[in-house]
Amino acid sequence: MTGWLRILKLSVKNLLMHPLRSGLTVLGIFIGVSGVIWLLAIGEGIGRASEEQIAALGARNIIVRTIKPSSDEVQDAGYGLTRSDYMRLLATVHTIETAVPIREVPQEIRYRTRKFEGRCVGCTPEYAEAARLRQAAGRFLCDADLIEERNFCVLAAESAERLFPFGNPLGEEIMVDDEFYRVVGVMQPRAPSSGIGGSLAAEDYSRDVYIPLTAMQRRMGDMMVVTKPGQFQRDLFELSQITLQVKDREQVLQTVDVVRDTIAREHTLPDFGVTVPLELLRQAQTTRLMFMLFLGLIAAVSLVVGGIGIMNIMLATVTERTREIGIRRALGAKRRDITRQFVIEAVVLSVVGGALGVRGGLLCRPISVRIRQLLLAWFPDQMADLPEVVRTVEPILVSWSIPLAFLISAIVGVLFGVYPAIRAARLDPIEALRHE
Amino acid sequence: MNYAARIGNLRKEYRLGGEAVHALRGVTFDVPEGDYISIMGPSGSGKSTLLNLLGCLDRPTSGSFLLGDDDVSRMTDDQLSETRARRIGFVFQSYNLLPALTVVENIEVPLVYSGRVTRGDRQRCVELARLVGLGERLEHRPAQLSGGQQQRVAIARSLVNDPRFMLADEPTGNLDSATTEEILNLLERLNRDGRTIILVTHEAEVAERTRRTIVLRDGQIQTDKRR
């Protein structure tokens, strides 16, 4: 035991004789090890964030959305999901618990002299729960509003802010498409959802105005007219989306097929898309695994590069210390004594690098947050263009990455230290003694 | 009579660029215990080759070399290392101290390889340093010492395993005459204590101080005179 301690002490002494050289070698391993931990943590963060987003859509949900077919197919006929699709689904698919139809139309929203380009959403009372909106003031739409086709509306947080920066919006009347609607409620701000694949694009809920679906049908009809400079566009569609909630999670996948068939039967155009969060969730889990493997591989490459650095330095050291090796051999050192000495020096380098790397890896979260803050402060415009996930990702330390990275660094030390050490031990003692 | 070593018809050949070099062409002599031998000869006569063989750094091509009762020519590399560590004391012309280590640590090195470093050994190293007159410089590094002092450290180091057989390769080659005198006195004292010493030199004055001189020429013994 004291023998090992002695060799260890000697190794440290030898390494400290060239502090810069040893330091740079350690740096190589440091970067490799913290790289492994960082990349895995970031991968985990991104993966978990997207899984959470998908899970937020509800694992029991099936989301059917209208997709506008290419324009020459549409002509003037309508397209998309219809109210009869909705009724048929409710009536025929018995595994469905609730179904929430909505229709979204971009509209100019006005209150007296204030106005803004918002999104008018015709919906049913269940929508608040399906989209997980929370009430800030007043109430959401109720069944009676729908039955009586009342001109009532509920404002999203930013909509309320824009129209009523100072006063209380409740009870006021706003104008949408030349009709007046009384404000009965205001919702809390809701973070925008990002596009997660399937037929779902990123959605921004902040400028919404919610009105009863029946009122929308009565006042606006099914024709959506968009006029922009140099462009006049008409769209005829009944519903934008139907969110279905299945009774049991186990039934989701079978239900999807039934839903798809039920709708397709009445549609000649490919004008709807079905998104299944559960399927996406499973896909995301596989993708994440691949992603992490890939990141791990990149980091492993940098560790190998660090290992080559060790090998390089150790080879130089062996040449430089040929005479010392000769002296030690002459004084009775066996080949394995020499091998051990050099392997241990290499392992000391890599383990010190590994330990520092783990330390650096643990700082992953605070450092990445700091970096993001700096980037946001220095390049706000460029950062705004980045995808949501990149801007908000929180790295999550993967617990097994720490022992793994450390172990790899130690293995790298042995692996890349052995060859130079064997070369050192193979030196002929007489030749080595003569070496200047 | 007990022999420290017996050398019989020792031969050593090298291959140098495809050509065979006969460094030793049959050397025979006995080394009684407690003898003090100098080996002389012009360069290329095989002195260094002989010393390397005697020091168990190399194996002969043929012939026998008995160190005590053990046949060195049949030893494995590890056994050779062990023999060097436990039974042979080496003193070199250029001292060959390890520059990173202190005086005491340098003296300790052979102990590490003979597998025993205890607290008592540390004390022994300090005593050896005192014996060679370096008791005040235990923590100095070789670079801080004069040539004579370095050679004395080397001698102390060669003594640490208490070998009966000491080899010195031109131990005074790099030293001035006063220091040479000191070192030779030290070696004489060690010889009086019963250690067998073989030293290689090309200085006649040094050779005269030994009891027996072997002169090599072209890989063979030319003369073997006892004083």
Concatenating the DSSP letter of every residue in A289-340 gives HHHHHHHHHHHHHHHHHHHHHHHHHHHHHHHHTHHHHHHHHHTT--HHHHHH
In this structure, is residue B87 part of a structural domain? Answer: yes
Total count of domains within chain B: 1
In this structure, is residue B23 part of a structural domain? Answer: no
Minimal CA separation from B221 to chain A, in Å: 23
Whole-angstrom distance, CA of residue A85 vs CA of residue A267? 10
- pTM value? 0.72
Minimal CA separation from B227 to chain A, in Å: 31
In this structure, is residue B69 part of a structural domain? Answer: no
Looking at the predicted structure, is the pLDDT value of residue A213 above 90?
A: yes
In this structure, is residue B20 part of a structural domain? Answer: no
Name B16's Cβ contacts closer than 8 Å, sequence gap at least 6: none
Minimal CA separation from B84 to chain A, in Å: 5
pLDDT at A36: 87
Neighbours of A61 (CB within 10 A): 19
Whole-angstrom distance, CA of residue B110 vs CA of residue A187? 84
Whole-angstrom distance, CA of residue A290 vs CA of residue A300? 15
Structural domain including B88 reads: 34-57+77-226
Out of A88-92, A282-286, B26-30, B54-58, pick the least confident. Answer: A282-286
DSSP collapsed to 3 states, B150-191: HHHHHHHHHHCCCCCEEEEECCCCCCCHHHHHHHHHHHHHHH
Looking at the predicted structure, is the pLDDT value of residue A47 above 90?
A: no
Concatenating the DSSP letter of every residue in A193-255 gives BPP-BTTBPPB--TTEEEEEHHHHHHHH-SEEEEEETTEEEEEE-SBSEEEEEESSGGGHHHH
Strands of B212-217's sheet, edge to edge? B88-91, B165-169, B196-200, B36-40, B212-217, B220-226
Contacts by A377-380, CB closer than 8 A, 24 or more apart:
none
Q: Which residues of B touch A328 (CB under 8 A)?
A: 98, 109, 113
Say if CB A349 and CB A416 are below 8 A apart.
Answer: no
pLDDT (tens place) for every residue of chain B, 227 residues total? 789 999 999 999 988 888 888 999 999 999 999 999 999 999 889 998 999 999 999 999 999 999 988 999 889 999 999 999 989 999 998 899 998 889 999 998 898 888 767 778 888 899 999 988 888 899 999 999 999 899 999 999 999 988 989 999 999 888 899 889 989 999 999 999 999 999 999 899 999 999 999 999 999 999 999 98
Q: Which residues of B touch A14 (CB under 8 A)?
A: 100
In this structure, is residue B105 part of a structural domain? Answer: yes
Is the ipTM of this structure higher than 0.90? yes
3-state DSSP percent of chain B in helix, strand and coil, to 5: 35, 30, 35
Look up tokens 């042979």; give the residue.
B88
CB of B93 within 8 Å of any CB in chain A? no
Whole-angstrom distance, CA of residue B35 vs CA of residue B48? 20
Hey, what are A259's tokens?
């839903």
Note the pLDDT tens digit of each residue in A305-344.
Answer: 888 989 999 999 999 999 999 999 999 999 999 999 999 9
Hey, CA dihedral for B55, B60, B64, B70, is it positive or negative?
positive
Query: If you compute the radius of gyration of chain B from its CA atoms, what whole number of angstroms results?
Result: 17
Whole-angstrom distance, CA of residue A197 vs CA of residue B225? 100
- Sort strands B62-67 and B70-71 into parallel, antiparallel or unpaired: antiparallel
Mutate to test the interface with B, among A331, A345, A427 (most CBs of B within 10 A): A331
Say if CB A69 and CB A237 are below 8 A apart.
Answer: no
Name B86's Cβ contacts closer than 8 Å, sequence gap at least 6: A332, B114, B161, B163
pLDDT at A1: 45
Say if CB A101 and CB A83 are below 8 A apart.
Answer: yes
Say if CB A35 and CB A299 are below 8 A apart.
Answer: yes
Q: What Cα–Cα distance (Å) separates residue A163 from each residue in A83, A133, A272? A: 32, 20, 34
Containing A48, the helix (H) or strand (E) segment is: helix A19-56
**Amino acid at the residue A352:** V
Minimal CA separation from A434 to chain B, in Å: 10
In this structure, is residue B15 part of a structural domain? Answer: no
Residues 94-153 of B with CB under 8 A from A: 96-98, 100, 109-110, 112-115, 117
Name B97's Cβ contacts closer than 8 Å, sequence gap at least 6: A327, B106, B142, B150, B153, B154, B157
* pLDDT mean over A46-63: 80
In this structure, is residue B71 part of a structural domain? Answer: no
CATH of the domain at B163: 3.40.50.300
- For B194, phi then psi, to 5°, come to 105, 5
pLDDT at A343: 93
Most confident of A71-85, A137-151, A236-250, B103-117: A137-151
Whole-angstrom distance, CA of residue B164 vs CA of residue B147? 25
In this structure, is residue B212 part of a structural domain? Answer: yes
Of B81, B92, B98, the CB nearest to A334: B81
